[in-house]
Amino acid sequence: MFKGFLRYIACIFFLTISISAEAEENKYIGDNQCKMCHNSVANNFTNNIHIKAHDSASSTGTCESCHGPGGNHKKSKSKEDILNPAKLDNQLASKQCLNCHEKDARHWNGSSHDAMDVSCVSCHNIHSNSNKNLLIKSSIDETCLSCHTEQRAFTLKRSSHPLNDLSRADGQGNMTCASCHNAHGTQSESLISANSVNDKCYECHEEMKAPVLWEHSPVKENCLNCHNPHGSNHENLLVAKEPRLCQQCHEQGRHQTLAGDTDSFFMTNRGCSNCHTQVHGTNHPSGVKLKR
Condensed to tens digits (0 to 9), the pLDDT of residues 236-289 reads: 999 998 888 988 888 765 665 555 555 555 555 667 888 889 999 999 988 888
* Percentage, residues of the chain above pLDDT 90: 36
Q: Which residue has the higher pLDDT, 57 or 230?
A: 230
- What is the three-class DSSP state of 4? helix
Q: Could you please report the per-residue DSSP string of the chain? A: -HHHHHHHHHHHHHHHHHHHHHHHHS----HHHHHTT-HHHHHHTTT-HHHHHHHHH-SS-HHHHHH---HHHHHH--GGGS--GGGS-HHHHHHHHHHHHTTTTTT-TTSHHHHTT--HHHHB-TT--SSTT-BSSSSHHHHHHTT-HHHHHHHTSSB--TTB-TTSTT-B-S--GGGTB-TT--SSGGGBSSSSHHHHHHTT-GGGTS--SEE-HHHHH-GGGTB-TT-BSSGGGBSS-TTHHHHTT--S-SS---TT-TT-GGGSTTSGGGT---TTEE--TT-TTS--
Given this model, what pLDDT does residue 201 score? 96
Q: Are 281 and 215 in contact (CB under 8 A)?
A: yes
Any idea where the domains of the chain sit in the sequence? 107-191, 197-282
H or E stretch including 282?
Answer: strand 281-282
- Per-residue pLDDT band for 80 (boundaries 50, 70, 90) equals confident
Condensed to tens digits (0 to 9), the pLDDT of residues 84-118 reads: 888 888 888 888 888 888 888 889 988 999 999 89
- What would the mean pLDDT of 150-164 be, rounded to a whole number? 93
pLDDT reading at 61 higher than 70: no
Query: Residue 96 CB: number of other CB atoms within 10 A?
Result: 21
Identify the bridge partners of residue 215 per DSSP, sorted by sequence position. 281
188 Cβ contact list (under 8 Å, min separation 6): 194, 195, 196, 197
H or E stretch including 57?
Answer: helix 49-57
pLDDT reading at 142 higher than 50: yes
- Alpha carbon 238 to its chain's center: 25
Average per-residue pLDDT in the chain?
A: 82
pLDDT reading at 14 higher than 70: no
46 vs 54, 272, 274, CA distance in Å?
12, 61, 61
288 Cβ contact list (under 8 Å, min separation 6): 214
